[in-house]
Amino acid sequence: MGQTLTEKILSAHLVDGKMVKGEEIGIRIDQTLTQDATGTMAYLEFEAMGVPRVKTERSVAYIDHNTLQSGFENADDHRFIGSVCKKHGIYFSRPGNGICHQVHLERFGIPGKTLIGSDSHTPTGGGIGMIAIGAGGMDVAVAMGGGAYYITCPKVVKVELTGKLRPWVAAKDVILEVLKRLSVKGGVGKVIEYTGEGVKTLSVPERATITNMGAELGATTSIFPSDEITRQFLKAQGREEVYQPLCADADAEYDELVEINLSELEPLVACPHSPDNVKSVAEIGNLKIDQVCIGSCTNSSLLDMLKVAHILKGKTVHPDVSLSIAPGSKQVLNMLAKNGALSVMIDAGARILESACGPCIGMGQAPNSKGISLRTFNRNFEGRSGTKDGQIYLVSPELAAASALTGVLTDPRTLGDMPDFQLPELFEINDNMVVPPIEAEKMDTVEVLRGPNIKPFPVAEALPEDIVAKCSLKVGDNITTDHIMPAGAKILPLRSNIPEISKYCFGVCDESFPSRALDMKKSIVVGGSNYGQGSSREHAALAPLYLGVKVVLTKSFARIHMANLVNAGIVPMTFANEADYDRIDQMDELKIEKIGEQLKNGDTIVVTNTTKGFTFEAKVSLSERQKEMLYAGGLLNYTRTTNK
């Protein structure tokens, strides 16, 4: 039997376990990336491991999230990361160089290689045929130290693309269609592999839009084959030598099949507050808008920006609308400047932002109260924009630009003929904003520069014999990491200071949680299904750890967050019978006796609700390796004790 592309790359990198779906496998990691909001923690963890130089083929640290410097904190973190990079063999992409995923695709990604990144949209690299996976910072630190990265051997979903997108229908509409069909939990435990004749009609940036937002499916990653179009893209980036053709075998067997005829798609919109709440423009009807934001790692390529400039040319942004545009990288911004498209945007009244995440992570451009904002981004979770009652709609750049001119949600197909937008034969190549590391012999001369905001991270204690603790918080389904550990301009500067950032933990759900949990000293959080969806931020595990959370008990977990909990030494449990969720109230006391012994004997854990006087069963679906981590008190303790 032939292999899928996913199986080919994973098996070529297998260092632990067997390629049996559902079982844990360890893979060798060729490349890593970090960004600044998760990077400080990842590099503190890397330092704690005591490895002098990264052992990967290429590790890159990007500064793209915390670029609003309203105090010393972010600038100090940037300086810290820069100095760690210099010392330990890591390339440092300076602020201004662009969004990690966009720059990595342009300058460093290589077909057939493995990449993990401390950011959930790392699967963008799947656009050039990489297995690129989002992970917690600690996992990235271990990979930089040469350790394997562990995942559940995934099922592979075949998305068969036929036909060709009609004018003004975009790659964004393809992934919104997939989200509409599969939902935000439809991809858990799966890799989404794109195949079929339709693949040949999509450029690399379009493919990358699709793999990027595959993160919103909860998928392990998404991947496109590496073909002639990939070769041309790499050639235009001056990197043709890293190209290799890669695709699935003709007789490869997949676990699921999704068929999409590109010719039948229409412009789509993800409505508040979930990326899978997808409707067509016609279904939504008349919608007056206040704001349009174009950019983010999903839609900030040169191709996207050229389309936007074409639509804006000679027009003026509607008087009731604020339009911001953040080109994804210095390369994109510079090319727009040189070919005149930037001037077209400025002329139309666009507010040009630096090449960074910006509004996508609430770093500025929060909409007005109840403001309706169309964004080309990938997440529209409640409050993420910085305005609690902001209404965020996710759309393609074409739809965003058309609507910015009319002031209402506008189908871009009303724009008339669409020119044939082409990628350049040669991109503008200048890596002067990427600082290479110092030679190994000179590394001792580099001083790591730590600002006063960088505080030691909490490390869990070994698993106690019994856990008797109250439920400090009970939340519902689809809790995102933006609920657990909100971001935004005010809170993000505290990413390297866990005691401080913990004060905002679960702020969106219940502002009294941090002080209550601290008072309780140890506690249990109870949640619904798909708990922890969204980002890779390990702060969503480290803050609860600092606040004394020992167990998180839910109906189900999102992949990266569950791994982050284990890494932090917090026990992730699921209800054996989901109906038991309704029988627990906040402040109930739960008792788990001899938890270590129970874990050793299997996956079932007996829990007693001593407040209500009943016993129920929970599941801990973890590998032996992960259980060992819990006994030790998290990944760092485990690595120290086992030297793995």
Can 450 be counted among the known catalytic residues?
Answer: no
State the binding partner of 537 from ligand SF4, ligand MIC, none, CB within 5 to 8 A by kind. Answer: ligand MIC
Rg (CA), the chain: 24
- Applying the rule CB under 6 A, the residues between 99 and 128 that interact with ligand SF4 are 99, 119, 121
Least separation in angstroms between CB 210 and ligand SF4:
14
CB-based burial label for 51 (10 Å; 0-12, 13-18, 19+): middle
- Applying the rule CB under 6 A, the residues between 46 and 85 that interact with ligand SF4 are 65
Identity of the residue, 105 or 463, whose beta carbon is nearer to ligand SF4 in the bound complex: 105
- In sequence order, the 6+-apart residues with CB closer than 8 A to the CB of 317 are 292, 323, 348, 349, 350, 404, 405
Q: Which of 88, 239, 318, 379 is catalytic?
A: 379
Contact 392, 267 (CB under 8 A): no
Identity of the residue, 74 or 535, whose beta carbon is nearer to ligand MIC in the bound complex: 535
Contact 516, 505 (CB under 8 A): no
Stretch that binds ligand MIC, among 113-121, 287-295, 302-310, 606-614 (CB under 6 A): 113-121
Identity of the residue, 183 or 385, whose beta carbon is nearer to ligand SF4 in the bound complex: 385
Identity of the residue, 17 or 98, whose beta carbon is nearer to ligand SF4 in the bound complex: 98
Identity of the residue, 165 or 361, whose beta carbon is nearer to ligand SF4 in the bound complex: 361
Least separation in angstroms between CB 537 and ligand MIC:
3
- In sequence order, the 6+-apart residues with CB closer than 8 A to the CB of 527 are 474, 475, 476, 479, 552, 553, 554, 555
Least separation in angstroms between CB 487 and ligand SF4:
8
Can 537 be counted among the known catalytic residues?
Answer: yes
Least separation in angstroms between CB 535 and ligand SF4:
7
Check residue 378 for interaction with ligand SF4 (CB under 6 A).
yes
Q: Where are the beta strands (DSSP E) in 220-320?
A: 221-223, 256-261, 268-270, 278-280, 291-294
- In sequence order, the 6+-apart residues with CB closer than 8 A to the CB of 624 are none
State the binding partner of 536 from ligand MIC, ligand SF4, none, CB within 5 to 8 A by kind. Answer: ligand MIC
Identity of the residue, 133 or 469, whose beta carbon is nearer to ligand MIC in the bound complex: 133
Q: How many residues bind ligand MIC (CB under 6 A)?
A: 13
Rounded CA-CA distance 523/575 in Å is 17
Least separation in angstroms between CB 65 and ligand MIC:
6
Identity of the residue, 377 or 616, whose beta carbon is nearer to ligand SF4 in the bound complex: 377
Largest CA distance in the chain: 72
Question: Which string of b and e fits 404-413 if b means at least 16 CB within 10 Å?
Answer: bbebbbbbbb
Least separation in angstroms between CB 513 and ligand MIC:
19
**What phi and psi, each to the nearest 5 degrees, are found at residue 516?**
-65, -45
Can 369 be counted among the known catalytic residues?
Answer: no
Q: HSE-up of 289 (CA within 13 Å, CB side)?
A: 30
Stretch that binds ligand MIC, among 16-24, 72-80, 306-314, 528-536 (CB under 6 A): 528-536
Can 65 be counted among the known catalytic residues?
Answer: yes
- Can you read off the two tokens belonging to residue 229? 């179009």
Binding ligand SF4 (rule: CB under 6 A), the pick from 141, 171, 361, 434 is 361
Check residue 133 for interaction with ligand MIC (CB under 6 A).
no
Sheet holding 149-152, edge to edge: 14-16, 24-27, 149-152
State the binding partner of 434 from ligand SF4, ligand MIC, none, CB within 5 to 8 A by kind. Answer: none
Least separation in angstroms between CB 617 and ligand SF4:
37
Beta bridge partners of 149: 27
**What letter does residue 458 receive in the DSSP assignment?**
P
- Applying the rule CB under 6 A, the residues between 535 and 594 that interact with ligand MIC are 535-537
Rounded CA-CA distance 306/457 in Å is 44
Q: What is the 3-state secondary structure (H, E, C) of 578-598?
A: HHHHHHCCCCCEEEECCHHHH
Rounded CA-CA distance 568/636 in Å is 8
Least separation in angstroms between CB 149 and ligand MIC:
16
Identity of the residue, 207 or 559, whose beta carbon is nearer to ligand MIC in the bound complex: 559
State the binding partner of 99 from ligand MIC, ligand SF4, none, CB within 5 to 8 A by kind. Answer: ligand SF4
> Directed axis angle between helix 228-236 and helix 204-212, to 10°?
100
Check residue 33 for interaction with ligand SF4 (CB under 6 A).
no
Backbone conformation region of residue 123, classed left if phi is above 0, alpha if psi is from -120 to 50, else beta = alpha
Can 379 be counted among the known catalytic residues?
Answer: yes
Check residue 172 for interaction with ligand SF4 (CB under 6 A).
no
Can 516 be counted among the known catalytic residues?
Answer: no
Check residue 37 for interaction with ligand MIC (CB under 6 A).
yes
Least separation in angstroms between CB 304 and ligand MIC:
18
First to last CA, the chain: 35
Least separation in angstroms between CB 284 and ligand MIC:
24
- Can you read off the two tokens belonging to residue 112? 């057939």
| CA neighbor of 210 nearest in space, from 365, 309, 105 | 105
How many residues are there in the chain?
A: 644
Stretch that binds ligand MIC, among 343-351, 386-394, 533-541, 586-594 (CB under 6 A): 533-541
Check residue 360 for interaction with ligand SF4 (CB under 6 A).
yes
Check residue 213 for interaction with ligand MIC (CB under 6 A).
no
- Applying the rule CB under 6 A, the residues between 304 and 363 that interact with ligand MIC are 361
Identity of the residue, 182 or 213, whose beta carbon is nearer to ligand MIC in the bound complex: 213
Contact 541, 569 (CB under 8 A): no
| CA neighbor of 389 nearest in space, from 256, 273, 469 | 273
State the binding partner of 296 from ligand SF4, ligand MIC, none, CB within 5 to 8 A by kind. Answer: ligand SF4
Contact 414, 406 (CB under 8 A): no
CA distances from 470 to 35, 65, 327, 521, 556 (A): 36, 36, 48, 10, 20
Stretch that binds ligand SF4, among 357-365, 417-425, 569-577, 593-601 (CB under 6 A): 357-365
- Can you read off the two tokens belonging to residue 153? 């051997």
- Applying the rule CB under 6 A, the residues between 352 and 411 that interact with ligand MIC are 361
In the complex, the residues that contact ligand MIC under the rule CB under 6 A are: 37-38, 65, 119-121, 134, 361, 487, 534-537
In the complex, the residues that contact ligand SF4 under the rule CB under 6 A are: 65, 99, 119, 121, 296-297, 357, 360-361, 377-378
- Name the residues annotated as catalytic: 64-65, 119, 379, 535, 537
